[in-house]
């Protein structure tokens, strides 16, 4: 996503996230375009694009795409895949620059939660507003307080995947320990990745990541301070209203410009 903590995970990120339904997510994004824009956006920025999975999905649907991420390793993976004319830029989501404006900005997979202070949050939102066309659309999602407190909490998980056949078969395991502090509302993720080697041994790598839990009011305030009109907050791709047990909030906001 938009952080520097994906050096170890970058090569296997998409394999460990194969359960993510990017097609349905992109359907939702296109539904938002149709619902909130007067026409099809000519250029779309995918902010904190990671390995470019969503960027490629939207590019394949005919959108001209720019992908920005703060991890060189994640962008390296993105550039090794079919680019279809996508422009990838290595930049921090708190201080990125573009040469012009875009019709829409997407920021998927809780990348906004990697902004650990309200100052960083507002800096990012203000830049998004700056680089959007008048009435341009900003779509992003966040992990909810319910998810941080209940799903993450102090829990540990194991992710696993295998690929290849015969002698080329390879197993990958990722140990994921969460530590959520209700006072600071910061969740620490300690990740240990084990990759099977040709001789049957496993290579271990580790990295540390952090996310910040934001309340609905904090996110709405940051958007409004940055010049956005909030169009809706949803719990799923069907535009359902948020519930107490929603694990993700999907925001749609319009750039108001004088």
Q: What is the DSSP string of 71-97?
A: -HHHHHHHHHS--TTPEEEE--TTS--
SS3 168: helix
Pick from 115, 103, 177: which is nearest to 142 by CA?
115
What domains are defined for the chain?
10-146+214-255 (3.40.50.150), 152-212 (2.20.25)
Q: What is the pLDDT of residue 74?
A: 94
What's the pLDDT score for residue 1?
Answer: 40
Give dist(CA 225, CA 211) in Å, integer: 22
- Distance separating alpha carbons of residues 218 and 205, to the nearest angstrom: 35
Q: What pLDDT is attached to residue 4?
A: 52
pLDDT for res 2: 44
Can you give the length of the chain in residues?
A: 258
pLDDT averaged per 10 residues, the chain (length 258): 62 81 98 97 97 96 97 94 90 98 98 98 99 98 99 94 68 93 98 86 90 99 98 98 98 93
Three-class HEC string of 98-157: CCCCEEEEEECCCHHHHCCCHHHHHHHHHHHHHCEEEEEEEEEEEECHHHHHHHHCCCEE
Per-residue pLDDT at 171: 87
- Do 107 and 132 meet the contact criterion of CB atoms below 8 Å apart? no
């Amino acid at each position: 996503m938009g952080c520097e903590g994906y050096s170890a995970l970058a090569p296997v990120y998409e394999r460990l996230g194969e359960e993510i339904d990017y097609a349905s997510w992109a359907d939702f994004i296109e539904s938002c375009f149709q619902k909130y824009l007067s026409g099809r956006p000519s250029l779309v920025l995918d902010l904190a694009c990671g390995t470019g999975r969503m960027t490629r999905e939207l590019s394949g649907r005919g959108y001209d795409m720019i992908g920005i991420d703060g991890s060189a390793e994640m962008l390296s993976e993105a550039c090794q895949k079919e680019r279809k004319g996508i422009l990838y830029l290595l930049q921090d989501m708190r201080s990125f620059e573009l040469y012009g404006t875009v019709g829409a900005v997407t920021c998927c997979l809780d990348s906004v939660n990697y902004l650990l202070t309200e100052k960083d949050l507002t800096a990012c939102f203000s830049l998004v507003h700056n680089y959007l066309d008048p009435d341009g659309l900003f779509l992003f999602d966040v992990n909810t307080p319910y998810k941080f407190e209940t799903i993450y909490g102090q829990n540990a998980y194991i992710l696993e995947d295998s690929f290849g056949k015969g002698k080329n078969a390879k197993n990958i395991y990722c140990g994921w320990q969460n530590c959520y502090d209700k006072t600071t509302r910061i969740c620490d993720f300690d990740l240990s990745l084990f990759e099977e080697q040709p001789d049957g041994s496993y290579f271990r790598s580790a990295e540390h990541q952090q996310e910040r839990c934001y309340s609905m009011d904090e996110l709405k305030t940051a958007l409004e301070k940055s010049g956005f009109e909030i169009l809706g907050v949803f719990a799923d791709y069907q535009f359902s209203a948020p519930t107490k047990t929603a694990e993700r909030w999907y925001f749609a906001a319009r750039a108001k410009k004088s």
